[in-house]
Each structure stands twice: as C-alpha cells, then as structure tokens.
Amino acid sequence: MKTYLAPVNEIEKKWYVVDAKDKILGRLATEIASRLRGKHKPTFSPFIDNGDFIIVTNADKIQLTGKKWDDKKYYRHTGWMGGIKETTAKELLEKHPTDLVTKAVKGMLPKNKIGRAQLKKLKVYSGGDHPHAAQQPEELVI
C-alpha cells in the first residue's frame, strides 16, 4: 500500500480564532502548534506544510501556573561579551504581551524552513479584536 501525499495546491487551509483569556500557556501552545503543523488532519506529512491559520486574541490575559510569573526566565544575547539579558515572564507580558504565546509555540515547532513557515501562520493579538474578519475564521474551543 502506498502512502497518499496530497498535492500542495489541493491542501485546504482554514482560519481559526482562539480566545486565550484565562487559558494556561503551555496547554494552549501545544494545541496551537499541533494545528499549525496539520497533525489533526488525516493527510499529515512532516515535510509538507498543510496546517491551518490560527488567530489568538486576548494574549494579555493568559495564565501561568505556580510561581512561573517570577521564576520563568527568557534569555537573549546582544552579541557582545557578557551581553546575556534575562527577562521574567511578568516583565515580558508587560512590555510585549504577544511574545509569551509566540515564543511558547515557536519552541514546539520544527527548527527548520517548514517550522519558520508554519510560525508565520500564527497571528497573535493582545486585545479582543483582530483584522482578519475577511477570512471568516471559525471559533476554536481549546
């Protein structure tokens, strides 16, 4: 029996809206990453980008369990010697509320060209509205 591969022009990509209000970050990010990759479809192939578009609203109202608001650290490097910078989850939420969801989902996607293309299909907004009404997105309950 041969494995069925859907042609790229026949892949149907839907748009979904997820409300992140009072949702746990990790549990939300795993479901979003799975949908972006297309693992919920019977035509899933790891080397073909057949996932859906995901719109996340209310990213500023996301929740973390335990003491992660103060203990969870995000690191970056400036490129200079001794230039490592760290930011807590609480500080990141205040400055860039959409980055919490984006960084969590990015860590769950493949680290290659397909993973970068799949991350571009994620749209995160801190408020309750989004500019993608023309795509007629469906509500996705997680």
- Which of helix, strand or coil describes residue 103? helix
Segment (H or E) for 122: strand 122-124
Q: Which of 51, 48, 41 is nearest to 14 (CA)?
A: 51
CA distance 111 to 5: 23
pTM of the model: 0.93
Segment (H or E) for 55: strand 53-57
pLDDT of residue 10: 86
- Note the residue count of the chain: 142
Determine what percent of the chain is predicted with pLDDT higher than 70: 100
- Name the band, by pLDDT with cuts 50, 70 and 90, for residue 138: very high
pLDDT at 52 over 90: yes
pLDDT of residue 80: 97
Q: Are 58 and 78 in contact (CB under 8 A)?
A: no
CATH 3.40.50.360 fits 14-64+99-139, yes or no: no
pLDDT in tens, 70-118: 999 999 999 999 999 999 999 999 999 999 999 999 999 999 999 999 9
Sequence-ordered list of residues with C-beta below 8 angstroms from that of 131, at least 6 positions apart, any chain: none
**Domain extent listing, the chain:** 14-64+99-139
Determine what percent of the chain is predicted with pLDDT higher than 90: 87
Largest CA distance in the chain: 57
Residue written as token pair 């760290």 = 86
pLDDT of residue 66: 96
Q: Phi, psi (5° rounding) for residue 59?
A: -70, -20
| Mean pLDDT, all residues of the chain | 95
